[in-house]
Amino acid sequence: MTTHENWTFSAGWLDAARRVNSPNYNPRPDGSYPELIVVHGISLPPRCYGGAEIEAFFCNTLNANDHPYFAEISDLRVSAHFLIRRGGELVQFVDTDSRAWHAGISQWRDRDNCNDFSIGIELEGCDDEPYSDPQYAVLNKLIFALQNRYPKIGRDAIVGHCEIAPGRKSDPGPAFDWSRITDLSASRHGNAE
């Protein structure tokens, strides 16, 4: 078993993450709790890293005039629970007990509305550029912490956005190496030897 430092939560906020409150969340429906982790990829503008645009997007302060792509998305109201930057910085936008708006129209195991019962983790990146070593290290620690807090999140409950919204979403894309996720069955993602 892999050992990880002991990350703790307080009212759904992870102590190891920098907190940036997004207004884009709401309570989970009665009887719903995290059972699924959804891995995403995001870069704003596309293929550009390190700026403040992702945080602005999740906080509804993205300036539509700063880039042509922003004009297309600035009116969207979305969020994720977490963002892992290229250098490994962990940012949290929504407490894990609440419903972040990351999955959109989605289905997992014949259940619709994955936002109701999932945790959304964005990785700064794009589908066809390798994600960084620090991102995988932080992602593994985060998954471990989430599984400790929410025991219903099992090995088979870690998916890409593309798996819950096929044909609509492609992230985290083919550049994401599922075999680097500790304790995850690589054969589930076609990476078996």
Using the predicted structure, report yes or no on whether residue 183 has a pLDDT greater than 80. Answer: no
The three-state secondary structure class of 120 is: strand
Using the predicted structure, report yes or no on whether residue 190 has a pLDDT greater than 80. Answer: no
Dump pLDDT digits (tens) for 67-119.
999 999 999 999 999 999 999 999 999 999 999 999 999 999 999 999 999 99
Q: What is the pTM of this model?
A: 0.93
Using the predicted structure, report yes or no on whether residue 5 has a pLDDT greater than 90. Answer: no
Contact 51, 44 (CB under 8 A): yes
Catalytic residue among 35, 53, 122, 124: 122
Which residues pair with residue 39 across a beta bridge? 121, 160
| Domain edges within the chain | 18-184
Contact 65, 105 (CB under 8 A): no
The mean predicted confidence, pLDDT, of the chain is 93
Whether 163 is catalytic is no
The three-state secondary structure class of 147 is: helix
Average pLDDT over residues 44-66: 97
Q: What is the pLDDT of residue 6?
A: 84
Q: Which helix (H) or strand (E) holds 19?
A: strand 18-19
Query: Would you call 23 exposed, middle or buried from its count of C-beta atoms within 10 A (0-12, 13-18, 19+)?
Result: exposed
Class of 18-184 in CATH? alpha beta
Q: How far apart are CA 153 and CA 158, in angstroms?
A: 8
Token reading at 178? 């599922």
Sign of CA dihedral 112, 114, 115, 116: positive
Q: What is the pLDDT of residue 188?
A: 42
Token reading at 3? 């050992």
Lowest mean pLDDT among 134-138, 151-155, 179-183, 189-193: 189-193
